[in-house]
């Protein structure tokens, strides 16, 4: 199984064993010891029957003492085994999930824009539960049952060769049936994983969009969407469970009844002819259970383990997709500024969203990007954030072509104040610092400049923001995003309609605060065409259907009386 795994998937398997080999070794050693315990139990039953036949009371007393000691010893072995297994399995899972999250957090920014986060939720919840059951727990059970099968056969062989031959012959058909059916199990397990992924995606959307659903009175439709996803995943689980039961029933009926009756009858005949004792027949009948069980479960367990290995592979593939780009580092002085030269861009081979865009943005400069809705403003900011590589022309950042710049270095350069603000269900302070260490004075200063001064003075940095920032107003949420960007002090600040949720006065104050900043180059997308603010930009770029149709200072553009002047007239 290991050889078919990719190198990336093997990394995840290695995460199970990191600093966990001692737990594994103890668990395996005690699993191995548990096998003779089961076989000795069968042997004891046979001995007791034979002693009854001889009527030797003192031998029976010895056996009773031995039985007591044996039960205590096997209990100790079992408890030790379970404890070591628990220690191994749950450490392995914690390490596996940590590695998965570490790899996901290293992905490029475009990964989270383009991929379905529902699939990651499923990979880290449902699939982890399948890996726990199918890969880790069943791994031990496979060892146990394989040894039990081998040990039972060896013991049978030692007790009676002809009776062992009968048992093996009667096991052949059910083994073949069980192996053949086990293959289908893997398919069904994978189908359940894919169904879980779709279910989690749908549920996440319905819960995240709950307010929209309510506002639209679309509860009935939401229930229908949920019901469809729910029914699909449960139907897939039903198919999987049915197959599991079918394998069990076929193996148990074919193997269990046929084997036990067959061996019992053949053993009785050998006992009548004096070849074996009655005790030996009883031991055989009991050992048949240890043949039936492994034949019943081993193909299933091996199939589940293969299916679970497939889930590890799936996670490895998902984590590798859209990996953050490693490339050239760019100095924070941003020598040469940001230069776009005849840039064009289209989403997924569609119509061009940007065409022939050429801009020069100097370090420390103030630039505004204006244009009607859908003219490509956000797309342009997204390109500068490294969100898409498929542009034509050239974008040079500090002298380096953007698509060759290291993703981490680009993040250090670019701060984004976005339209949509994500807030953690945590304190105001942690939401501003994003859990990183900053001097408190710097945090307070950023809050004050972002217009959060009053809130912080009244409620403090420890104020709980609530889920998604539910305890803050829309404007306060946006100010948190502005405070974050101010605190990071990146050389470039990209601002996408950051003041849209603020009232006119606060919006002007916040936009003014961004313009007042010393140091960063600012590119501000704005629909607010306030003359007092627009007059403060070094240059305004006017986008129309993806093209820069006008550029200049506010005074120049208004004097020209073109498209920009028209936009100002409409908005004003
Ligand atoms: N991820 C995407 N995939 C496909 N098309 C997209 C995507 N994002 C935006 N578009 C399309 O690209 C065009 C430009 O969108 P963009 O968001 O850049 O415009 P905008 O000027 O920022 O608009 P607004 O002012 O309304 O925010 C639109 O036609 C939009 O539908």
Tokens at 415, concatenated: 């701060």
For 109, the token pair is 């920014």
296 and 364 assigned to the same domain: no
Residue in 348, 350, 370, 376 to alter for ligand 1 test, most ligand atoms within 8 A of Cβ: 376
C-beta of 567 in contact with ligand 1 (< 6 A): no
Give yes or no: residues 303 and 188 share one domain.
yes
Tally Cβ neighbours within 10 Å of residue 55: 8
Q: How many domains does the chain have?
A: 2
| Mutation to probe ligand 1, out of 347, 382, 500, 546 (largest number of atoms < 8 A from CB) | 347
**Residue 157 belongs to a domain with what CATH number?**
1.20.1560.10
Distance CA 507, CA 499 (A): 5
**Pocket of ligand 1 contains residue 376 by CB under 6 Å:** yes
How far apart CA 21 and CA 88 sit, in angstroms, is: 8
- Is 493 in a helix, a strand, or coil? strand
Among the listed residues 4, 14, 193, the one whose alpha carbon sits nearest the alpha carbon of residue 99: 14
Which of 252, 284, 318 delimits the end of a domain?
318
Residue 376 CA: nearest ligand 1 atom is 18
What is d(CA 142, CA 301) in angstroms, rounded to the nearest whole number?
Answer: 7
Is 462 a member of any domain? yes
Rounded to 10 deg, the angle between the 161-208 and 278-320 helix axes is 30
| Residue the block writes with tokens 């809705």 | 373
Structure tokens at 320: 């590798």
Q: Is the CB of 371 under 6 A from ligand 1?
A: yes
Reduced to 3 states (helix: H, G, I; strand: E, B; else coil), residue 548 is strand
Q: Is 390 a pocket residue for ligand 1 (Cβ < 6 Å)?
A: no
Is 410 a domain residue?
yes
Domain annotation covers residue 437: yes
Q: What is the domain-level CATH number for residue 548?
A: 3.40.50.300
CB of residue 337 inside a 6 A radius of ligand 1: no
Residue 374 Cα to ligand 1 midpoint, Å, equals 5
Q: Are residues 293 and 403 in the same domain?
A: no
DSSP string, 417-485: E-SS----SSBHHHHHHTT----HHHHHHHHHHTT-HHHHHHH-TT-B--GGGTTS-HHHHHHHHHHHH
Give CA–CA dist 129/148, Å, rounded: 27
- Helix 474-488 and helix 504-516: axis angle, to 10°? 0
Q: Is residue 333 part of a domain?
A: no
Q: Does 238 lie in the same domain as 127?
A: yes
Atom number in ligand 1 closest to CA 382? 18
Looking at 269, 286, 318, which one is the last position of a domain? Answer: 318
Across the strands, what pairs with 550?
542
Query: Which domain range does residue 120 map to?
Result: 2-318
> For residue 334, which of 393, 443, 388, 415 has the smallest C-alpha distance?
415
User: Which residues, including other chains, have CB under 8 Å from residue 270's CB and lie 6 or more apart?
Assistant: 160, 162, 163, 276, 281
Q: Does 51 fall in a domain?
A: yes
Distance of alpha carbon 474 from alpha carbon 501, whole angstroms: 6
Residue 332 in domain: no
Q: Please indicate, yes or no, whether residues 14 and 110 belong to a single structural domain of this protein.
A: yes
The span from the CA of 219 to the CA of 210, in Å, is 9
Burial (CB count within 10 angstroms: exposed 0-12, middle 13-18, buried 19+), residue 440: exposed
Residues 307 and 351 in one domain: no
Please list the pLDDT of the chain residue by residue as tens digits (572 residues). 445 788 889 999 999 999 999 999 999 999 999 888 888 888 888 888 888 888 888 888 998 999 999 899 999 999 999 999 999 999 999 999 999 999 888 776 666 666 667 778 888 888 899 899 999 999 999 999 999 999 999 999 998 999 999 988 888 877 777 677 777 877 888 889 889 888 988 888 888 878 778 777 888 889 999 999 999 999 999 998 998 888 777 776 767 778 888 888 999 999 899 888 888 888 888 888 888 888 878 877 887 888 888 889 988 988 877 666 677 777 777 888 899 999 999 998 789 999 999 999 999 999 999 998 889 998 999 899 888 888 999 999 988 898 888 888 888 888 888 777 888 889 999 999 988 889 999 999 989 888 888 999 999 999 999 888 889 987 888 889 888 888 888 889 998 876 666 677 777 777 787 788 777 899 999 887 888 889 999 999 999 999 999 999 999 999 988 898 888 877 65
Is there a single domain that holds both residue 302 and residue 389? no
Q: Compute, in angstroms, the gap from residue 342 CA to the centroid of ligand 1.
A: 19
Cβ count near 215 (within 10 Å) = 9
Helix count and strand count (H, E) for the chain = 22, 10
CA–CA distance, 182 with 166 (Å, rounded to integer): 25
Ligand 1 binding pocket includes 366 (Cβ within 6 Å): no
Report the distance separating Cα 456 and Cα 429, nearest Å. 9
C-alpha distances in angstroms, 341 versus 370, 397, 403, 406, 523? 19, 11, 14, 20, 17
CB 145 within 8 A of CB 298: yes
Indicate if the alpha-carbon torsion angle 384, 389, 392, 395 is positive or negative: positive
- To which residue do tokens 């010895």 refer? 62
ipTM of the complex: 0.97
Are both 15 and 152 inside the same structural domain?
Answer: yes
> Going by CA atoms, what residue is nearest to atom 7 of ligand 1?
347
Based on the fold, state whether residues 12 and 154 are members of the same structural domain: yes
3-state secondary structure of 520: coil
On whether both 434 and 537 belong to a single domain, the answer is: yes
Q: Give pLDDT, residue 204.
A: 84
Nearest CA to ligand 1 atom 24: 373
On whether residue 230 sits in a domain, the answer given is yes
Q: Do 382 and 442 belong together in one domain?
A: yes
Q: Whose CA is nearest to atom 17 of ligand 1?
A: 378
Which residues does 559 contact at the CB level (< 8 Å), separation at least 6? none
CB distance 113 to ligand 1 below 6 Å: no
CA distance 119 to 204: 10
Answer yes or no: is the C-beta of 379 below 6 A from any ligand 1 atom.
yes
Residue 265 and residue 346 share a domain: no
């Amino acid at each position: 199984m290991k050889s078919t795994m990719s190198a990336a998937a093997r990394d995840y398997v290695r995460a199970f064993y990191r600093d966990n080999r001692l737990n594994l070794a103890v668990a395996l050693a005690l699993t191995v010891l548990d096998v003779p315990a089961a076989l000795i139990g069968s042997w004891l039953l046979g001995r007791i029957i034979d002693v009854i036949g001889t009527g030797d009371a003192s031998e029976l007393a010895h056996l009773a003492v031995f039985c007591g000691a044996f039960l205590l010893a096997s209990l100790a072995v079992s408890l030790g085994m379970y404890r070591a297994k628990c220690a191994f399995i749950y450490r392995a899972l914690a390490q596996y999930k940590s590695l998965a999250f570490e790899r996901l957090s290293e992905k490029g920014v475009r990964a989270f824009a383009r991929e379905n986060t529902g699939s990651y939720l499923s990979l880290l919840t449902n699939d982890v539960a399948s890996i726990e059951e199918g890969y880790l727990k069943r791994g031990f059970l496979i060892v146990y049952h394989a040894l039990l099968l081998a040990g039972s056969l060896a013991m049978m062989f030692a007790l009676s060769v002809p009776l062992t031959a009968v048992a093996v012959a009667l096991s052949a058909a059910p083994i073949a049936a069980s192996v053949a059916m086990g293959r289908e199990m893997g398919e069904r397990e994978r189908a359940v994983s894919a169904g879980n992924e779709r279910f989690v995606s749908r549920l996440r959307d319905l819960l995240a969009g709950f307010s929209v659903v309510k506002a639209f009175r679309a509860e009935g439709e939401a229930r229908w969407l949920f019901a469809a996803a729910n029914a699909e995943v449960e139907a897939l689980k039903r198919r999987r469970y049915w197959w599991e039961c079918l394998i069990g029933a076929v193996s148990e009926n074919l193997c269990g009844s046929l084997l036990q009756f067959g061996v019992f009858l053949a053993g009785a005949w050998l006992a009548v002819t004096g070849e074996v004792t009655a005790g030996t027949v009883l031991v055989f009948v009991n050992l048949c259970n240890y043949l039936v069980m492994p034949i019943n479960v081993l193909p299933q367990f091996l199939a589940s383990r293969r299916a679970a290995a497939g889930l590890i592979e799936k996670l490895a593939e998902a984590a590798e997709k859209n990996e953050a780009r490693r490339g050239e580092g760019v100095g924070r002085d941003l020598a040469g500024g940001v230069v776009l030269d005849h840039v064009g861009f289209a989403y997924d081979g569609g119509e061009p969203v940007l065409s022939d865009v050429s801009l020069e943005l100097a370090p420390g400069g103030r630039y505004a990007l204006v244009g009607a809705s859908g003219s490509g403003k956000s797309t342009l900011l997204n390109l500068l954030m490294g969100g898409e590589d498929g542009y034509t022309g050239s974008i040079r950042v500090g002298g380096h072509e953007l698509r060759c710049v290291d993703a981490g270095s680009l993040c250090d350069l670019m701060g984004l104040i976005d339209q949509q603000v994500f807030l953690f269900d945590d304190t105001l302070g942690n939401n501003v610092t994003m859990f990183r260490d900053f001097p408190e004075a710097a945090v307070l200063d950023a809050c004050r400049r972002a217009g959060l001064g009053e809130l912080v003075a009244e409620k403090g940095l420890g104020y709980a923001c609530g889920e998604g920032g539910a305890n803050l107003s829309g404007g306060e949420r946006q100010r948190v995003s502005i405070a974050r960007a101010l605190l990071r002090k990146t050389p470039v600040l990209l601002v996408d309609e950051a003041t849209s949720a603020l009232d006119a006065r606060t919006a002007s104050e916040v936009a003014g605060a961004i313009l007042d900043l010393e140091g960063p180059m600012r590119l501000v997308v704005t629909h607010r065409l306030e003359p007092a603010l627009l007059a403060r930009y070094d240059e305004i770029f006017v986008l129309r259907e993806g093209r820069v149709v006008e550029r200049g200072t506010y005074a120049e553009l208004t004097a020209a009386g073109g498209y920009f002047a028209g936009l100002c007239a409409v908005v004003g």
